[in-house]
Amino acid sequence: MTNQIYSVAIDGPAGAGKSTIARQAAKALGFVYVDTGAIYRTIAYAAILSKVDVKDAQMVEALLPQVQITMDWLDGVQQMYLAQENVTGEIRTSEVSSTASIVAAIPAVRQFLLDMQRDVARKRSVIMDGRDIGTVVLPDAAVKIYLFASVEVRAKRRWLEMQHVPFETVLMDVAARDERDMNREIAPLKPAQDAVMLDTSKLDLQQSIDAVVEIIRKKIAL
């Protein structure tokens, strides 16, 4: 048993299964799972509550000093708080999803969240998932994994979780988010040069978790 602190970065597009896979892998390894998308979602939710037009970057930037975000873990499940109020459930709507990908393209928002994310990884071993963890947030992470799957497979997985939404709508939504996340000027979604690429298109959930745990164990000999 060592007291060494390790960071694992998992990046990839929406719907590649990152959060479920990262959460289960963290459980298997005794690491804390950090979902950074939830932090962007909380900012988006704050903007929606304040009726800020998120297309106006200056308005969003002006809102930031008033946004009080904290997080903690309840039975290993990350909880998000906005001004002391638990908003873990509220940030999962599709309105918050698309708003999050808009606010995430604003440089001031990314800067605002950078220290918060790095701070968590300084104190404990983490598996952190997001879009720019291996490239920007934790460039020295011991392990970097880029999880991906075809856009159709990702949309299908999302669609199966939803009810009464036409598949075409979900497909367009996932494609639009990819477009925004990959083509923004700041910290676009892309694999780090030293990331292990893992295509989950043909893997089921358990196979994906096993593959991730194996990649991590190989790299840091746990």
Which residues here bind ligand DC, judged by CB under 6 A? 14, 36-37, 40-41, 97, 100-101, 104, 130-133, 177, 181
**CB 40 → ligand DC: shortest distance, Å?**
4
CB nearer ligand DC, residue 92 or residue 218: 92
Least distance between ligand DC and beta carbon 177 (Å)? 5
Least distance from ligand DC to the Cβ atom of residue 3, Å: 27
Q: Which is nearer to ligand DC, 40 or 159 (CB)?
A: 40
**For residues 101 and 125, which CB has a smaller minimum distance to ligand DC in the complex?**
101
In this complex, which beta carbon is closest to ligand DC, that of residue 3 or of residue 139? Answer: 139
Nearer to ligand DC, 3 or 55 (CB): 55
Q: How far is the CB of 110 from ligand DC (least distance, A)?
A: 7
| CB 92 to ligand DC: min, Å | 9
DSSP conformation letters of the chain:
------EEEEE--TTSSHHHHHHHHHHHHTPEEEEHHHHHHHHHHHHHHTT--TT-HHHHHHHGGG--EEEEEETTEEEEEETTEE-TTGGGSHHHHHHHHHHTT-HHHHHHHHHHHHHHHHHS-EEEEESSIIIII-TT-SEEEEEE--HHHHHHHHHHHSSS--HHHHHHHHHHHHHHHHH-SSS-S---TTPEEEE-TT--HHHHHHHHHHHHHHHH--
